[in-house]
Amino acid sequence: MPSRSDVHYFGAGPAPLPTNVLENASRALLNYNDKGIGICEISHRSPEANQILADAKNGLSTLLDIPDDYEILFLQGGGSGEFSAVVYHMVSLWVEKRRQRAEAELGAGKEAEVLERLRKEVKDELKLDYLVTGSWSLKASQEAARLVGSEHVNVAVDARKANNGKFGTIPAEAEWSLTPKQPGAAFTYFCDNETVDGVEVPAFPAALEGPDVAPVIADMSSNFISRRVDVSKYGVIFGGAQKNIGNAGVTIVIVKKALLGPLAAPTLLRQLNLPVGPIVLDWPTIAKNNSLYNTLPIFDVWVAGQVMQGLVQAYGAQKIAGQEEISNKKAELIYAVLDKHPGVYRVVPDKSVRSRMNICFRVHGGDDAREKDFLAGGEKRGLTGLKGHRSVGGIRASNYNAVPLEGAQKLAEYLEEYAKSS
């Protein structure tokens, strides 16, 4: 039976965690802070739980230099839950702003006229912009269409149209069809790193900067805390923890406080035939209750906090730039061998948008038998979790933070060895 040190796991999620965090977790599960009970048994409203939350927030704030005018929320539902929460929240925010404007222009006591105007504006002007660059942003746009109707969803980019029907590139910004600033979209959504398709947005899009742009919502589930991020450019950043930050069960949302309200009343939303979201996905409610509106999985928050505090201690003044340097180096090692042997390997996404986190490639043109042989060879060398997503097949090396440099080096060595022998 192999030991943990003999295996380098490249699974896409749940992903590996630092061994020292797991060792500490095993002790915390039995006896947390010498209380005689485990961390999963303490009250989520206890002083200990509040301290765990504070430590996790502080770790993330330190790593990403999160400005004071942002709130950090911990909740459940994963990235998919936030696909819905984004729509519920941002549409409600958009409606309330329009209601206030209509009331100011039409005057008090004109409720019927205000409602009629809102109905027309919702019908004619409510737009949610989506940059569809991979499987997850596609799912997010589909959820938006399910909730509010496809007529309100503007797919400003469908990257498949520029790549023979498959994901793997991002069209130039000049080709995007964003909703004009006047009247403006309720928000613009993109997935910063597409786990399935190996596409990562290289940098914050210039088209989404400047005055009067719609609030930018980014799903960073699979590249959270792997590179520097100017949080001030985003309205909302969210992600499930189970890639770079922790274990499955907790979702993190970083939201600009100015976007937390006021929101349209549920009665008004129903009058406009717009959805009212569940309370457990309601960001203002979660914020007011310090993420403790309902029973939060405190153990999951503790694990995430341990991972983030470990990075703070490891990189000091460098903060997340220290991890970014390592992430880049690991990706460069693997891509260098793949590019060196084009007759054996084909990297799926275009070079301009290759993910550092999810390295997707085919072996011998996608020959099924030879890819199975490649995976079997990797397993024998302790290189596991390399099978591509079931929807696209192939090989995927998920190069998350907890994969050590040594793991990337061993994978690069195997890639070289396999190429020479096949």
- Whether the CB-CB separation of 333 and 399 falls below 8 Å is answered with no
Helix, coil or strand: residue 124: helix
Helix, coil or strand: residue 375: helix
Catalytic position from the list 94, 158, 192, 243: 243
- Whether the CB-CB separation of 172 and 199 falls below 8 Å is answered with no
Where helices occur in 2-110 by DSSP H, the ranges are: 19-30, 47-64, 78-106
- Whether the CB-CB separation of 85 and 283 falls below 8 Å is answered with yes
Where helices occur in 31-77 by DSSP H, the ranges are: 47-64
Quote the Cα angle for 144-145-149, to 5°. Answer: 125
Catalytic position from the list 158, 219, 282, 300: 219
Q: Judge whether 136 counts as a catalytic residue.
A: yes
Catalytic position from the list 94, 129, 136, 302: 136
- Whether the CB-CB separation of 372 and 215 falls below 8 Å is answered with no
Residue type, 47: P
- Whether the CB-CB separation of 388 and 395 falls below 8 Å is answered with yes
Element (H, E) at 8: strand 8-9
Cβ-based neighbours of 52, under 8 Å, separated by 6 or more: 298, 301, 302, 305
* Residues catalogued as catalytic: 136, 219, 243
